[in-house]
Amino acid sequence: AQTVTQSQPEMSVQEAETVTLSCTYDTSESDYYLFWYKQPPSRQMILVIRQEAYKQQNATENRFSVNFQKAAKSFSLKISDSQLGDAAMYFCAYGNYGGSQGNLIFGKGTKLSVKP
């Protein structure tokens, strides 16, 4: 069974600085999807970024980028120029390409604080 591990329960960053959130996963599949979701205090789950395992190029979305290391099964999220609005829980998630496609397996989350 696939698993997702986020080893940092809490992280803190100074406003305008850069922070990296870690995520590792375990799977025997070669094709799959990886996601980072943000959950602010409102509790709404917001997609931050998505990566398809067959793509070697790391995904980027404005200030958010990932470092996808397929062989190491690592999928870290880098937030550049951190803003107060980035403070939230961040969840890493894994999705299968075939079979039970659609189902996501989530890590336990990292709580990010942003200091002014």
Report CA-CA distances (Å) from 32 to 37, 71, 115.
16, 13, 35
Q: Note whether 84 binds other proteins by CB under 8 A.
A: no
Q: Give residue 60's identity as a one-letter amino acid code.
A: T
Q: Note whether 53 binds other proteins by CB under 8 A.
A: no
Contact (CB, 8 A) for 26 and 34: no
Q: Which is nearer to other proteins, 4 or 13 (CB)?
A: 4
Q: Note whether 45 binds other proteins by CB under 8 A.
A: yes
Q: How many CB atoms lie within 10 A of CB 58?
A: 15
Q: Which is nearer to other proteins, 87 or 92 (CB)?
A: 92
Positions in the binding site for other proteins (CB under 8 A): 4, 33, 35, 37, 42-45, 47, 50, 91, 93, 95, 97, 101-109
